[in-house]
Amino acid sequence: MAWYAGRPFMPSRVALVWIITCLIWSTVWLFIKIGVSDVPPVTFAALRLIIGILVMVPVTLLSRTPLPRAPSDWKLIAITGVILLGLNYALLNWGLQFVSSGLTAVLQSMTPAFALVFSHYLLPDERMTTRKVTGLALGTFGIGLIFWDQLTFGSERAFSGALAVTSGAVCVAFAYVMVRRGGRHLAPGILTTGQMMAAFVPLFIYACVVEGNPFAMTWTWRALQSAVYLALAGSVLAAWLNYWLLSRVGAVNLLIMGLVEPVIAIALGAWILGESMNGRAMIGGAVILASVWLSMAPAKTRASA
């Protein structure tokens, strides 16, 4: 007779790394919030990158990781680095001036949906399915439910700001899909280091032109601490884990953690900063967890006995 045999979401070790990486990224928003309250956002991002570079360059050299030899590999690293860490940061930080934090969270939650579209056309092993589309739509709805009272256009330039934030999400999705497509053979450390180095220069120039001389600014102790944490936990550890996971779970399943991060960030904000966490946030969180299960659970395969 016929029966359905399902497979687990992913191997236990991979699932554990996915959860750990998601937890790390969830803390990033808290420390960014602390840091940019004292320092302009792009300048703060540039400091985060330079700290990450100063850590990763010697680590990569000491580990004797073979450097890529093909010019196409260096081209991929440079282009995706500028898109992921340069253009994305510039768009996101510019858009945040005109868009509420709640609307930003909803727009950013569309990243895995964009990745699903790019993957469908660029990656033969990550095709679009009704289940994934439904799951991602449900996750975006959950984010919207959590931030319902913040979905406002607060200024005349709000539409431009929303477009910039959405474009940043497109940049993230495209960069990860391109790395998945052409950089599976590259070591995570090489990818992480190379992308940070490629993005730092344009980001630093943007910061100097738009926000002023970084060396003339007053750097508070908590801003420096936040930058160090973000560099080590986010730009180094979580980014390295991202690329380790990318070759094992794919671009869409990797970026789905973006749906879970706001829920954990809200819980951390309530615990550490004393921010409110209402019933709507809890319901939205439950909806998001359901969407993650729906999006990531593999389709059942038919077998015969």
CA–CA separation, 188 and 34 (whole Å): 29
Is there a contact between 55 and 232 (Cβ–Cβ < 8 Å)?
yes
| Count of C-beta atoms within a 10 Å radius of residue 302 | 8
C-alpha neighbours within 13 Å on the C-beta side of residue 228: 7
Is there a contact between 214 and 47 (Cβ–Cβ < 8 Å)?
yes
**What DSSP string runs through 157-201?**
THHHHHHHHHHHHHHHHHHHHHHHHH-TTS-HHHHHHHHHHHHHH
SS3 304: strand
* Per-residue pLDDT, 218: 86
- Spell out the long-range contacts of 73-78 with Cβ–Cβ below 8 A and sequence spacing 24 or more: 73/183, 73/186, 74/194, 76/178, 76/179, 76/182, 76/183, 76/186, 77/183, 77/186, 77/190, 77/191, 77/194, 77/195, 77/198, 78/194, 78/198
Structure tokens at 48: 């985060």
Q: Which amino acid is at 190?
A: I
pLDDT digits (tens, 9 = 90+) for 94-145: 777 677 666 666 777 788 888 999 999 999 888 888 888 888 888 788 777 7
- The verdict on pTM exceeding 0.85 is no
| Count of C-beta atoms within a 10 Å radius of residue 92 | 24
CA–CA separation, 49 and 171 (whole Å): 18
**Polymer length in residues for the chain:** 305
Q: Phi/psi at 96 (nearest 5 deg)?
A: -65, -20
pLDDT digits (tens, 9 = 90+) for 38-90: 888 889 989 999 999 999 999 988 888 888 999 999 999 999 999 999 888 77
Q: What is the DSSP letter of 6?
A: -
Is there a contact between 126 and 119 (Cβ–Cβ < 8 Å)?
yes
* Nearest alpha carbon to residue 226 among 13, 30, 3: 30
Cα–Cα distances in angstroms (integers) from residue 132 to residues 120, 129, 244, 245, 299, in the given order:
11, 5, 22, 19, 10
pLDDT digits (tens, 9 = 90+) for 151-170: 565 566 777 888 888 899 89
pLDDT digits (tens, 9 = 90+) for 6-16: 444 567 888 89
- The residues near 93 (Cβ < 8 Å, ≥ 6 apart) are 41, 42, 45
Do strands 2-5 and 301-304 pair parallel, antiparallel, or not at all (unpaired)?
antiparallel
CA–CA separation, 42 and 92 (whole Å): 10
pLDDT digits (tens, 9 = 90+) for 253-301: 899 888 887 777 767 666 665 655 566 667 777 787 787 777 776 655 4
Q: Which residues pair with 304 in a beta bridge?
A: 2
